[in-house]
Amino acid sequence: MKKIALSDVKNLHEYELIRDSWRKDVIAVKAVRRVLLGDSMSLLFECRLTVLNQVQEMCRAERLAKPEAIQQEIDVYNELVPDAGELSATLLVEITEEARIQPQLDRLIGLSSGRHLWLELNGRKVFARFLEGQGREDRIAAVQYLRFPIGTDPRDRRALAAGPDPVILHVDHPGYRARAALSPETRAEVARDLVD
- DSSP strand E in the chain: where? 34-36, 41-46, 86-93, 117-121, 124-127, 129-130, 143-149, 168-173, 176-181
Look up the pTM and report it. Answer: 0.90
Does residue 138 carry a pLDDT above 80? no
Residue 147 β-bridge partners:
88, 129
Write down the pLDDT at residue 181.
97
Kindly list the domain boundaries of the chain, sorted by start residue: 6-194
pLDDT digits (tens, 9 = 90+) for 54-80: 999 999 999 999 999 999 999 999 989
pLDDT band, very low/low/confident/very high, at 53 (cuts 50, 70, 90): very high
Quick one: CA dihedral 161, 41, 44, 149, positive or negative? negative
Q: Mean of the pLDDT values across residues 30-48? A: 95
Q: Average pLDDT for residues 86-110, to the nearest whole number?
A: 86
pLDDT on residue 196: 59
Quote the pLDDT of residue 106.
Answer: 82
Q: Cα 68 from chain centroid?
A: 25
